[in-house]
Amino acid sequence: MAVRKSQSKRSGKPTQFTTLRVRLYPTPEQAELFEKTFGCCRYIWNRMLADQQRFYNETGAFFIPTPAKYKTGAPFLKEVDNQALIQEHNKLSQAFRVFFKDPEHFGHPNFKRKKTDRDSFTACNHVFESGPTIYTTRDGIRMTKAGIVKAKFSRRPQAWWKLKRVTVDKTRTGRYYCCILYEYAEKEPVPVIPMEDTTVGLKYSMRHFYVDSDGTMADPSQWKKQSQERLAKIQRSLNRMQPGSKNYQEAVQKFYRLHEHIANQRRDYIHKESRRIANAWDAVCVRADEMNELNKITSLGNVCDSGYGMFRECLRYKLARQGKQLLIVDRRFPSTRTCSACGRVMPEEISTRRRTWACPHCGAVLKREANAAQNIKTQGLAQYFEMQERRESA
Ligand SMILES: [Zn+2]
């Protein structure tokens, strides 16, 4: 299934397109009609193209005659769905449009041959007062001329999807398929109001990727550590080799492959982890750490490499799709040196070497990272409610 996004011109609401590909089981009569339609589409395409070229050679002007012009000379065209013929006209016009725009990339439209070109036709759905011309039934698709063709759906279309058009094609192995294009308005998610116990705070952690306000640590570390060690090993051996030698070339290839492998693992992890968090919580609070600054202070590993920026971005849109929010706290907020138990702010930064510290005012013993995550959460929620209040009073 493919999803395309676009802005609807009429309502201004974002619309999406999606396609379902279904296998068709036509009766022998319906199959014969399909074959005729394929043939007529090829015929009309070639006639229109030939006349366009002749017209261009004679007058120097661009013009494609409409399919209706050919019907008297070729009455068999009346046997098939007229919509399919009109679509050939649209496709040919479109082929010329892209050709004129970018001739090198698209090439001049060619004549179609039965042997080399794929058998297919397209028909648009028209909704009349009496109903649509194309629609799906429980186990079939109703088309103009063919009637209901038996079909096997792997997925059902949703009730609010609008059927735009269908494309029927035949594979080299003689199977018929139908691609159904649907359009639908994107639904606005209902805003979710975060609560104390449905909100989580995340603190970026060099060692654990992140630590949350409950003290839970993310741990992508196992594969990450292993891969990184292997990477370092190849890098060391590269330093010893003669650049340009065969061994060197092989090691470079190995290095690239491993790099790619690590990047894939990281992307996988980030998508899964952000999905899990976005589903489990109503709001997520993070600090707007500057990635450049984090880079400067790190000696243990590269922050950009750890993918925390990508992780935050994934969180943001995965939450937004559910009407939830990523609450971002100012990067100057002293998350680490604030005591989450009594709220007092210490005058000095807590060393990153210390895993725990005790508040001199209330005596609470705090885990450095979990305490910071808790403060980020408290601050994020406070910011959220402050903003809501301001909005209501305005
Ligand atoms: Zn305290």
Q: Decide: 337 and 345 in contact? Cβ < 8 Å.
A: yes
For the chain, the 3-state helix, strand and coil shares in percent, each to the nearest 5, are: 45, 20, 35
Dist. CA 32 → ligand 1 center (Å):
82
Dist. CA 69 → ligand 1 center (Å):
87
Dist. CA 344 → ligand 1 center (Å):
6
Q: Amino acid identity, residue 344?
A: R
* Distance separating alpha carbons of residues 55 and 47, to the nearest angstrom: 12
Cα distances (Å, whole numbers) of residue 312 to 276, 277, 286, 362: 13, 11, 8, 33
* Distance separating alpha carbons of residues 153 and 25, to the nearest angstrom: 12
User: What pTM value is reported for the model?
Assistant: 0.54
Dist. CA 362 → ligand 1 center (Å):
4
Dist. CA 351 → ligand 1 center (Å):
17
Q: Decide: 375 and 338 in contact? Cβ < 8 Å.
A: yes
Q: In this predicted structure, what is the pLDDT of residue 300?
A: 40
Dist. CA 373 → ligand 1 center (Å):
15
What Rg value do the Cα atoms of the chain yield, rounded?
31
Q: By three-state DSSP, how is residue 3 classified?
A: strand
pLDDT in tens, the chain (394 residues): 445 555 444 445 677 788 898 999 999 999 999 999 999 999 999 999 999 999 999 998 899 999 988 988 898 999 999 999 999 999 999 999 999 888 888 888 999 988 778 899 999 999 998 889 999 998 999 999 999 999 998 788 888 899 999 999 998 778 899 999 999 887 778 899 999 999 999 998 878 889 999 999 887 656 667 777 888 888 888 888 888 888 888 888 888 888 778 777 888 888 899 999 999 999 999 998 755 555 444 434 444 456 788 889 889 988 988 999 999 999 889 999 999 999 999 998 888 888 999 999 999 999 999 999 999 999 999 999 999 999 888 7
Q: In this predicted structure, what is the pLDDT of residue 211?
A: 93
Dist. CA 346 → ligand 1 center (Å):
9
DSSP string, 272-306: HHHHHHHHH-SEEEEE---HHHHHHH-SSS-HHHH
* Distance separating alpha carbons of residues 164 and 229, to the nearest angstrom: 53
* Distance separating alpha carbons of residues 107 and 276, to the nearest angstrom: 47
Dist. CA 366 → ligand 1 center (Å):
9
Q: In this predicted structure, what is the pLDDT of residue 304?
A: 43
Dist. CA 101 → ligand 1 center (Å):
68
Q: Decide: 294 and 311 in contact? Cβ < 8 Å.
A: no
Cα distances (Å, whole numbers) of residue 84 to 32, 45, 78, 117, 346: 15, 11, 11, 16, 75
Q: Decide: 202 and 285 in contact? Cβ < 8 Å.
A: yes
Tokens of 90: 């649209």
- Work out the angle at residue 312's Cα, subtended by the Cα atoms of residues 309 and 316, and round it to the nearest 5 degrees: 140
Tokens of 217: 């640590």
Neighbours of 345 (CB within 10 A): 9
Dist. CA 363 → ligand 1 center (Å):
6
Closest CA to 199 of 118, 295, 277, 103: 277
Dist. CA 334 → ligand 1 center (Å):
14
Dist. CA 42 → ligand 1 center (Å):
80
Strands (DSSP E) found in the chain: 3-7, 14-25, 120-124, 127-128, 131-132, 135-137, 140-143, 147-152, 162-170, 176-185, 199-205, 209-212, 283-287, 325-329, 356-358, 365-367
Q: In this predicted structure, what is the pLDDT of residue 7?
A: 47
- Identify any residues that bridge with 329 across adjacent strands, giving them in sequence order: 287
Closest CA to 324 of 282, 271, 377, 287: 282
Tokens of 232: 């370092």
Q: Which residues surround ligand 1, an ion (CB under 5 A)?
A: 339, 341-342, 359, 361-362, 364
Tokens of 362: 């209330």
Dist. CA 353 → ligand 1 center (Å):
20
